[in-house]
Amino acid sequence: MTLVSVQDCRRAAQVALEGAGVDVEAAQLQTDLLLDAELRGVPSHGFLRLQRIIERIGNGVADARTRGSHHWRSDSFLSVDGQQGLGPVVAQHAAEVAGARARQTGIAVAAISHNNHIGMLAWYAEAIAEAGLVAIILTTSEALVHPFGGSVAQLGTNPIAIGVPTEAGPFVIDLATSLVSMGEIHDHAHRGAKLPEGWALDAEGQPTTDPNAAKYGAIAPFGAAKGYALGLGFELLVTALTGAALGRDVTGTLDAERPSNKGDVFIVIDPLSGQGAALSAYLETVRKTRPMPGFDAVTIPGERGRARKAARLSAGIELADNVWATMQKLRDAALAEKEAP
């Protein structure tokens, strides 16, 4: 592992993206999302994805310029053709438009198709909640998760994020319906670390602790049948609203060659006024719950990530050696191209 300052991480990613043809504002947005994942201790959605983003731009399956095309199907339902744009650029623009409409209508839905990987959902949920709105965000992925009782991947990791404004700040949850994300499998592979038992199956449907074997197998649903049911329900819901591909037909978030055909859904709601204090008081009551043996205290989802972020902003980020080496290589190549006559 290599300790890298936040400033050096940001500059390397920003320069590499601009070198790939991304404009300054979009490069900042994409960099901020990757950086925030690293700061919060979610490397599966951090800088290990930078090279693939740049490769997708180079291969013509990610458009570095578009923010997507919008069509209002009704006063509160926005259909977005992402036009294979950069995931966070298209998604953030759609979320802002939906948020503005929700303040008028009470609720707005943005259903996004043909968009690249949008990264850590909590990043959007927190921003929406900070603006005083409620967010429910869903997205799908390639078939990476085996059904409960099955041995072959058939559905996506299909995460959900919820953001709720409170007087003390946003309450945010972000969790996949799989036991882990495929990004976590790749992160273990980058670090040369074994997987915990029960995380994944290999290509033959056998349990494995080898992250490289797990890449070609399947991840377990969280909570056995419950996670499977939620993941399947979210897959059907997102596809019903976006027209996205299903299951093993989904492509484009884990490779550098094929267009992305998964779906993203942002539901933005203008909440009842005057509830922030009550919500904050309730969260404080939960925190004060007497802990079980083996626990120091009860925490609220998202608090550990925020604490990591505060510490790493000053101390720096520990990156896998090969991830930092790749970032430097991409940065240096972009600088050399810029300086070439």
Within 8 A by CB and 6+ apart from 96, the residues are: none
Q: How far apart are CA 106 and CA 75, in angstroms?
A: 11
Say which DSSP state 257 is in: S
Q: Is 184 a catalytic residue?
A: yes
Helix (H) or strand (E) holding 70: strand 69-74
Neighbours of 239 (CB within 10 A): 19
Asked whether 2 and 327 are in contact (CB, 8 A), the reply is no
- Among 309, 246, 268, which residue's Cα sits nearest to residue 32? 309
Helix (H) or strand (E) holding 216: none
User: Active site residue: 18, 38, 142, 184, which one?
Assistant: 184
User: Active site residue: 45, 93, 186, 188, which one?
Assistant: 45
- Among 197, 195, 198, 191, which residue's Cα sits nearest to residue 211? 195
List, as one string, the DSSP characters of 132-184: T-EEEEEE--SS-BPPTT-SS--B----EEEEE--TTS-EEEEE-SBSS-HHH
Q: Is 273 a catalytic residue?
A: no
User: Active site residue: 44, 113, 178, 181, which one?
Assistant: 44
Query: How far is the CA of 44 from the CAs of 55, 132, 190, in angstroms?
Result: 18, 29, 10
- Residues with a catalytic annotation lie at 44-45, 184
